Amino acid sequence: LDRGRQVKVKVDGQDRDGGWVHGGSVGQALAQLGVDTTGAQLSESADRPVPVGGMSVEVKSLKTITLFDGGNAPQQLRTTVLTVGELLKSQNLSIGADDSIDPGADVKITNGAEIHISRTGVSVINQTEPVDPPVQTVNDDTMTKGQQKVDDPGVAGEKIVTYRITQKNGKESAREKLGEKVTKDAKPKILRKGTKVPDSPPVDPNDAGAWDRIAKCESGGNWAINTGNGYYGGLQFSQGTWNSNGGQEFAPRADQATREQQIAVATRVRDRSGGYGAWGCKP
């Protein structure tokens, strides 16, 4: 007499329609019910005979998942565990206080799932860094203004700087400076700078009259004029024109320079532009 036996089945934590089977083992019964047990973990041995009174069987199916753990190479794993938390335990993986995991530990795993662990680490390091030599400027009235010379390049010092480093998945994501201590003083760099105002260049007699006529028209012939309108001196230089044509060799502004110095700068402007077009007044 072949009596039917009732088998109740739960697959990956979910109740599944069981049914009546005709004797045989647990493995045969599950096959009769259409349950795939390839690589699965069973709560009962597949060889165990199904008792006449029936039984319940839990099946944990085999799933292939990909694990991304911090900065490590992705791992493809085959597992029968049910949740992300169980997977971590089976792989002896721990999650630090500043780490995160997606999906969460209570989420059930499905075939083809991807598990991402974001690792955050904090460390404190000491780093040796150079200290730039401070610059000591020495004024020299034997050198023309605008000239400079390095008498001594100096020597860089050293300091130990303490940083708090935050790493995300093996890569630095933040750096906080906690302090520093100079361990070797830097030797100053000595820079000599000229303060001598260049001698006023001679004015070409052939040009003098032309420049005087322009100055008469532009400023009434007042070579020291500064009305506050943004233009300075007898030839009414803008500050940009004065600077870009070497006026700083003589004075900070055109109205502070001599007639001859202003004419020298104006001559450069004229020669570069090919004429007197920079002035509204003509010679």
CA distances from 167 to 97, 124, 162 (A): 14, 11, 16
What per-residue confidence (pLDDT) applies to 145?
79
Q: Top-level CATH class of 4-60?
A: alpha beta
Assigned CATH topology for domain 122-196: Resuscitation-promoting factor rpfb fold (2.20.230)
CA distances from 75 to 70, 114, 169 (A): 11, 10, 15
What per-residue confidence (pLDDT) applies to 17?
77
- Please answer whether residues 217 and 246 qualify as being in contact, where contact means their C-beta atoms are separated by less than 8 angstroms: no
Q: Could you write out the DSSP letters of every residue in 216-246?
A: HHHHTT-TT-B-SSSEETTTTEEHHHHHHTT
Q: CA 14, CA 182: separation in Å to the nearest integer? A: 66
What per-residue confidence (pLDDT) applies to 199?
73
Asked if domains 4-60 and 205-273 share a fold, the reply is: no
What per-residue confidence (pLDDT) applies to 121?
87
Residues of the chain with pLDDT under 50: 1
Q: CA 69, CA 86: separation in Å to the nearest integer? A: 15
CA angle at residue 11 from 95 to 64, to 5 degrees?
50
- pTM as predicted: 0.51
Strand ordering across the sheet containing 63-69: 75-79, 63-69, 114-118, 100-102
Q: Top-level CATH class of 63-118?
A: alpha beta
Assigned CATH topology for domain 205-273: Lysozyme (1.10.530)
Tokens of 42: 């069973």
Q: CA 223, CA 216: separation in Å to the nearest integer? A: 9
For the stretch 174-212, pLDDT in tens is: 999 999 999 999 999 999 999 887 777 788 888 899 999
Q: CA 78, CA 83: separation in Å to the nearest integer? A: 13
What per-residue confidence (pLDDT) applies to 2?
61
Q: What residue ranges do the domains of the chain occupy? A: 4-60, 63-118, 122-196, 205-273
What per-residue confidence (pLDDT) applies to 154?
96
